[in-house]
Amino acid sequence: MGFSSKSTVVTNQSAGGHLFSNKDLLLLLIPIIAEQFLTSLMGLADSMMVSNVDDYSLGAVQLVDSINILVNQAFAALATGGVVICSNFIGQNNTQKAKEAASQVSLVALIMSVSMMVICLILRLTILHAVFGKVEPALMREAEVYFFITILSFPGIAMYNSGAAIYRAQGNTSLPLVISIICNGLNILGNAVFIYVLSLGVAGAALSTMVSRWLSAGIVYAFLHRKNQRIVVRDYLKIRPDKALIKRILGLGIPNGIENSMFQFGKLAISSTVSTMATAAITAQAMSNIMENVNGVAGCGVGIGLMTVVGQSLGAGRKDEAKYYVKKLAVWAEIAILSSCLLVYFLREPITRIGGMNEESARLCMYMIGWITIVKPIAWVPSFLPGYGMRAAGDVRFSMIVSTISMWVVRVGLCMLLVYGFGYVSPMAVWIGMFADWTIRGICFFFRLKSGRWLRISDADIK
């Protein structure tokens, strides 16, 4: 298939030229953005297919996914550490160390995901009832089924994230896209069979997800086993822990994981608030969340690509290039976010109709999407894009501290104040808190970037 040979890496640049041309950046970013879009669209398709069963099924999937995302963020944080370290070594043209780092990322991902799977299987009912104990019994029964099956997919998603991160670090973003197309397509096909033909409801959606995740992990590591590429992961049984590399990976991954986990814990707190509202409000919020994820994936894709670009730039010792690409890709991300928001806005009505939402839920959902379309193009890029560049430079603690405080004090605090303090019992309270959070975080990141301190962190980390 030949995907593995196509990498955007630092090679023989002139002293005055940029490491990545516009063509290089587009070849790097377009597959990432396409993969992110595809994944979100598949999530939207999943929810639309489940919503045609009943409102309880859609609510159960969205509530449980708010927990699953918390776990998956830990795996994504580990993958982030892998991207940064592997791309640094590639920037230094140190292929052997890049291979060693890839092996260690894979080993840690396997151990972490299997451990998390076992813990969640044992505590699954306790977790669900602690977080969503006040939901209707029918909704809880569906959630219990969906959670049990999706827990079994944790190692699959963790290993795929790590494998895809290894490819992105060397600039090969096409292969993860192809794998995502194949496996997400099979996921939709599986949904159709399990939900409509076999009438398995949320269990069918969970089974299809589990199979597609394990398959994607198997495929990406089958490719990493091939010899004709810059980074390979082979001889699995001979891989032994390398304390120095694992420390570096976790040194980047743990703060990022804490940031993401606190972010998701905050969302869980907000979800618990929404879960006390009427079923129509829960359904409207669930679909609004999905559409908001879709209109943000292009910007996220630019951010993911930025980590490879900044990582290779700093690995090559070119800090000015790192600053240049953060600014340049912030503009690209803004264009991507604006375009995505407008697209989702114009499609919001047919999406709610195809999704089988009742009139009250659909009306509330479209109202919230209207506000998201106004605010997100203004506030999202300053709030998120700089964080990707900071992580690639090793400046993970600042992002962790700011994001955690802003999440809990501003987003969660304002939402709770509106709902419980002022009696504003509407999921719109969630979005008001989110908009305020984006704004405060964006201001903090702006001043951090302007100070240049985020680049000085890399002096100690990139060796």
Instruction: Encode the chain (463 residues) as per-residue pLDDT tens digits.
Output: 344 444 444 444 444 467 788 888 888 888 888 887 777 766 667 666 776 666 677 777 777 877 787 787 778 877 877 778 888 888 888 888 888 888 898 898 899 899 999 999 998 888 888 777 666 777 788 888 888 998 999 999 999 989 988 888 887 888 888 998 888 888 888 888 888 888 787 888 889 889 999 999 999 999 998 888 888 888 777 888 888 888 888 887 778 777 777 776 776 677 667 766 777 788 888 788 888 888 888 898 898 889 888 888 888 788 888 899 999 999 999 999 999 999 999 988 888 887 777 888 888 899 999 999 999 999 999 999 998 888 888 888 888 889 889 988 998 899 889 988 888 878 888 899 989 999 999 999 999 988 888 887 654 444 4
Token representation of residue 444: 């903090």
Q: Contact 113/154 with Cβ under 8 angstroms?
A: yes
Write down the pLDDT at residue 52.
66
In this prediction the pTM is 0.75
Write down the pLDDT at residue 94.
83
Token representation of residue 67: 């927990």
Q: Which of 37, 20, 23, 22 is nearest to 336 (CA)?
A: 37
User: Rounded distance, CA 85 to CA 362, Å?
Assistant: 45
Give the number of C-alpha atoms closer than 13 A to the C-alpha of residue 124, restricted to the C-beta side: 20
Q: Is 205 helix (H, G, I), strand (E, B) or coil?
A: helix
Phi-psi region of 394 (alpha: psi -120 to 50; beta: other; left: phi over 0): left
Q: What are the structural domain ranges in the chain? A: 21-461
Token representation of residue 371: 């506000």
Q: Contact 91/316 with Cβ under 8 angstroms?
A: yes
At 282, which helix (H) or strand (E)? helix 279-294
Write down the pLDDT at residue 460.
43
Amino acid at site 73: Q
Amino acid at site 284: A
The 10 Å Cβ neighbour count of residue 391 is 28
The residue behind tokens 């009427």 is 278
Amino acid at site 303: G
Cα(first)–Cα(last) distance of the chain, in Å?
35
Distances in whole angstroms, Cα of residue 420 to Cα of each of 115, 271, 415, 430: 37, 14, 8, 12
Write down the pLDDT at residue 1.
38
Report the largest interatomic distance among the alpha carbons of the chain, rounded to a whole angstrom: 66
Q: Which of 222, 226, 168 is nearest to 6 (CA)?
A: 168
Write down the pLDDT at residue 382.
94
User: Rounded distance, CA 386 to CA 303, Å?
Assistant: 8
